[in-house]
Amino acid sequence: MLDKLYLLAALPLLAAATVVPRNGGASAFAGATTTFAWPPPNVTATIPDANFPDATAIDAFGPTPTGDEPAAIATAPVLAPVNDVFPLSRPDTADHKGSKFDVLHQWGNLSPMFSVDADTFGLPHSSPLVPEGCGLTQVHLLHRHGARYPTSSSAPSALAAKVHNATAGKGFTASGPLAFLNEWTYKLGAEILTPFGRSQLYNLGVGFRVRYGELLKGFTDLPVWRTTSEERMIDSALQFAAGFFGVQWYQGDYHQLVEIEASGYNSTLAPYDQCANANNNISSLGGVQSNKWAAIYTKPTIKRLQKLIKGNLTLTSADIIGMQQACAYETVALGSSSFCSLFTEEEWEQYEYYNDLSFWYGNGPGNPAVAAQGVGWVQELLSRLTQKRITTFETSVNSTIVSSNITFPLNQPIFVDATHDTIISAIVTAMNFTNFDVNGALPTDHIPKNRQWIVTHISPFGANLVGQVLSCPASDTPTHIRFILNDGVLPLTGIKGCKADKNGLCAIDTFIKGMQARVDEIDYQYDCFANYTLPNVPILDGRYPPALRRNVTA
């Protein structure tokens, strides 16, 4: 493996636009892809332009004193939840029940992040607010990027191609609530943030400054925060910084470290590229298991919607998944989608479970190569908590980065790392938050009652996992730690030595010892590189069962 990094310091927020090639405009055929590019074609611009001097050149700002730093996480009587999705419309359902049911909360990893209820993870009396009598000494933020366009070869793009091909043959005619399909065109880009996705990370930065800004007073040097090299990751990190520091952050408020996200480069924020079993039939288990459920739940939906189509278009289970994903992607990209109201509340709940199965068996506790993918970041967390450098490199940890105090400082009051949905789910698996597997492996033929593993609550767009290092009672010496996922406090009882606590607290020395024990039991080399078949026993902690390893050749 190659250990390499990019270090960006004080980059300007405004960069030259990347112009996407145009395809000649909208097609008259349903399902055709339409695109738009900005700036307009043939526009050339010099930035900066002497005709348009920036504000620093004009230098007429007026008074600029700032107030004291906020610390709402420790001072507010009640914490304002994240629940606003402006400017997105809130979709209706096919059955129009008029209940409090929210379609936006049924999309799994495609849902916008919202504050989960206090009892979501089993601690109904907890709050993200610092517990009474405690003080905050340090915070660790791991966040996902904002809402994006679909990845390449997505289900909605496959649906569009199928619809478009149908028009090239004998054609079809859709009626009723599906009539929009006759003129529907595919308007989604690929991979990069949508405008709403940009706002999510900007707002996260603003919110984090309001909650934790007081900790800036503990810095003796500029912060170093990390992201990876994909465009949506860079943009998310910059939007977060703009929200946290203001749009003038590039004048020197922090350093942005960019880890290369590609095969051959170690990164704990994109560890799947370094784990062979994250890119083969082991990783495909999530798709296999979720498709078993899709084949069951989509049958009545296909029957109902097929009645609305005459001609050369026959719906399949994959098409229903494509339509439900199109609802999510079009909403976070275009503000609304006609696909959303095609489905009932029950069908949306079934789709949510489809995503839960995909993540449980592909990127969560039910896959034997997942804890190994998350363990590198856990090692870095322990390094930061103990202020001791990592010296053994057998996981996805980048030795070049973590060996330097310039690129991996250990004494920051605020740490910020940007990553992906599948890595957040891998990290909570590696950390052994056992509340998620309390009811065992997820079945593929029905939705179980009282399940804890719900991807909408774990890895939505803009998801964030926050580690609060606390002193209880308040002092300058850290005594406790706890973790908060999308504003829901997580119980730490799956970590050796950590006892049940209504506020999710664990003594920090106990946590460090227990988490080190968890790291030691994760066999990265074996789980990522051994040539094994999936065991015929349930996996609940993201590892290949140790008792069965003797029968497998590495």
The whole-number pLDDT of residue 550 equals 66
Active site residues: 145
The DSSP secondary-structure symbol of 256 reads E
Question: Other CB atoms closer than 10 Å to residue 92's CB: what's the count?
Answer: 13
HSE-CB for 173 with a 13 A CA cutoff: 2
Contact 34, 25 (CB under 8 A): yes
DSSP 71-101: -HHHH-SSPPP----TTS-----TT---SS-
How far is residue 449 from each of residues 4, 143, 294, 371, measured CA to CA in Å?
Answer: 46, 29, 18, 26
Contact 376, 439 (CB under 8 A): no
Position 431, amino acid: M
Rg (CA), the chain: 24
pLDDT tier for residue 55 given thresholds of 50, 70 and 90: confident
Share of the chain above pLDDT 70, in %: 94
Q: Answer positive or negative: Cα dihedral of 259, 261, 262, 264.
A: positive
* Range name among 5-14, 248-257, 414-423, 432-441 with the lowest pLDDT average: 5-14
Contact 116, 457 (CB under 8 A): yes
**Scanning the structure block, which residue is given the tokens 């409090």?**
100
Contact 499, 509 (CB under 8 A): no
**Scanning the structure block, which residue is given the tokens 């601690």?**
123
Contact 423, 269 (CB under 8 A): yes
Match domain 6-16+70-156+191-299+358-529 to its CATH number in 3.40.50.300, 3.40.50.1240, 1.10.3720.10, 3.30.70.920.
3.40.50.1240
Mean local confidence (pLDDT), 150-172:
92
Tell me whether strands 135-144 and 414-419 are parallel, antiparallel or unpaired.
parallel
Q: What is the pLDDT of residues 231-273, one digit of tens each?
A: 999 999 999 999 999 987 666 899 999 999 999 999 999 999 9
Q: Answer positive or negative: Cα dihedral of 56, 59, 62, 63.
A: positive
pLDDT tier for residue 14 given thresholds of 50, 70 and 90: very low
Q: What is the pTM of this model?
A: 0.93
The whole-number pLDDT of residue 552 equals 53
Contact 363, 278 (CB under 8 A): no
Question: Other CB atoms closer than 10 Å to residue 74's CB: what's the count?
Answer: 19
Contact 479, 470 (CB under 8 A): yes
pLDDT tier for residue 152 given thresholds of 50, 70 and 90: confident
Q: Is the pLDDT of residue 10 over 60?
A: no
Burial of 131 (0-12, 13-18, 19+ CB in 10 A): buried
* Range name among 164-168, 284-288, 488-492 with the lowest pLDDT average: 164-168
Task: Give how far the C-alpha of residue 471 lies from the chain's centroid of Cα atoms, to the nearest Å.
Answer: 29
Residue spans per domain, the chain: 6-16+70-156+191-299+358-529
Alpha-carbon distance 81 to 114, whole Å? 8
The whole-number pLDDT of residue 25 equals 33
**3-class secondary-structure state, position 10:** coil
Alpha-carbon distance 450 to 444, whole Å? 15
Position 400, amino acid: T
Mean local confidence (pLDDT), 532-544:
95
Alpha-carbon distance 299 to 316, whole Å? 9
The whole-number pLDDT of residue 319 equals 98
Question: Other CB atoms closer than 10 Å to residue 396's CB: what's the count?
Answer: 28
Contact 141, 427 (CB under 8 A): no
Alpha-carbon distance 327 to 63, whole Å? 47
The whole-number pLDDT of residue 26 equals 32
Alpha-carbon distance 130 to 491, whole Å? 15
HSE-CB for 59 with a 13 A CA cutoff: 1
Q: Which residue has the higher pLDDT, 459 or 64?
A: 459
Which of 336, 337, 305 minimizes the C-alpha distance to 174?
A: 305
Mean local confidence (pLDDT), 108-131:
97
The whole-number pLDDT of residue 28 equals 46
**Scanning the structure block, which residue is given the tokens 């097609």?**
27
The whole-number pLDDT of residue 105 equals 97
SS (H, E, C) 165-192: HHHHCCCEEECHHHHHHHCCCECCCCCC
Q: What is the pLDDT of residues 294-346, one digit of tens each?
A: 999 999 999 999 999 999 999 999 999 999 999 999 999 999 999 999 999 99
Alpha-carbon distance 276 to 282, whole Å? 9
Alpha-carbon distance 1 to 265, whole Å? 6
Contacts of residue 115, defined as CB under 8 A and 6 or more positions apart, other chains included, come to 81, 82, 83, 486, 487, 488
The whole-number pLDDT of residue 8 equals 42
Q: What is the pLDDT of residues 167-205, one digit of tens each?
A: 987 899 999 999 999 999 999 999 999 999 999 999 999
Which of 419, 74, 416, 467 minimizes the C-alpha distance to 253?
A: 416
Contact 399, 1 (CB under 8 A): no
Q: Is the pLDDT of residue 384 over 70?
A: yes
Q: What is the pLDDT of residues 477-533, one digit of tens each?
A: 999 999 999 999 999 999 999 999 999 999 999 999 999 999 999 999 999 999 999
**3-class secondary-structure state, position 415:** strand
pLDDT tier for residue 3 given thresholds of 50, 70 and 90: low
Contact 396, 373 (CB under 8 A): yes
Q: What is the pLDDT of residues 57-109, one digit of tens each?
A: 888 989 988 899 999 999 999 999 999 899 999 999 999 887 789 999 999 99
Strands (E), 151-245: 172-174, 224-228
